Amino acid sequence: MSQDKEVLLQVHGLKVAYGGIQAVKGVDFEVKRGELVCLIGSNGAGKTSTMKAVTGTLPCVGQLHYLGKALRGQGPWDLVRQGLAMVPEGRGVFTRMSIAENLLMGAYTRDDSEGIAADLERMYGLFPRLKERHTQLAGTLSGGEQQMLAMGRALMSRPQLLLLDEPSMGLSPIMVDKIFEVVREVHGQGTTVLLVEQNASRALSIADRAYVMESGLITLSGPAQDLLHDPAVRAAYLGE
Domain ranges in the chain? 7-237
Band (240; pLDDT cuts 50, 70, 90) = low
Res 2 pLDDT > 60 = no
Q: Using DSSP, state whether 193 is helix, strand or coil.
A: strand
Residue 110 CA from chain centroid, whole number: 21
CA distances from 179 to 80, 173, 206, 207 (A): 22, 10, 12, 14
Q: Contact, 139 vs 96, CB < 8 A?
A: yes
Give the integer Cα–Cα distance in Å for 56 and 119: 27
pLDDT in tens, 116-172: 999 999 999 999 999 999 999 999 999 999 999 999 999 999 999 999 999 999 999
pLDDT in the model for residue 87: 93
pLDDT in the model for residue 232: 86
Res 77 pLDDT > 90 = no
The terminus-to-terminus CA distance of the chain in angstroms comes to 29
pLDDT in tens, 37-69: 999 998 889 999 999 999 888 889 999 999 999
Burial class, 191, CB count within 10 angstroms (exposed 0-12 / middle 13-18 / buried 19+): buried
Percentage of the chain modeled with pLDDT above 90: 80
Give the integer Cα–Cα distance in Å for 122 and 128: 10
- Furthest-apart CA atoms within the chain: distance in Å: 51
- Across all residues in the chain, what is the average pLDDT? 92
pLDDT in tens, 193-222: 999 998 999 999 999 999 999 999 999 999
User: Which strands make up the sheet holding 69-70, listed edge to edge?
Assistant: 21-32, 7-18, 61-66, 69-70
Nearest of 8, 78, 25 to residue 217 by alpha carbon: 25
| One-letter identity of residue 199 | N
* Percent of the chain as helix, strand, coil, to the nearest 5: 40, 30, 35
Query: What DSSP line would sit under 86-99, residue for residue?
Result: EE-TT----TTSBH
Band (71; pLDDT cuts 50, 70, 90) = confident
Higher per-residue pLDDT: 183 or 89: 183
pLDDT in the model for residue 1: 45
Q: What is the pTM of this model?
A: 0.93
CATH of 7-237, picked from 3.40.50.970, 1.10.3720.10, 3.40.50.300, 2.70.170.10, is 3.40.50.300
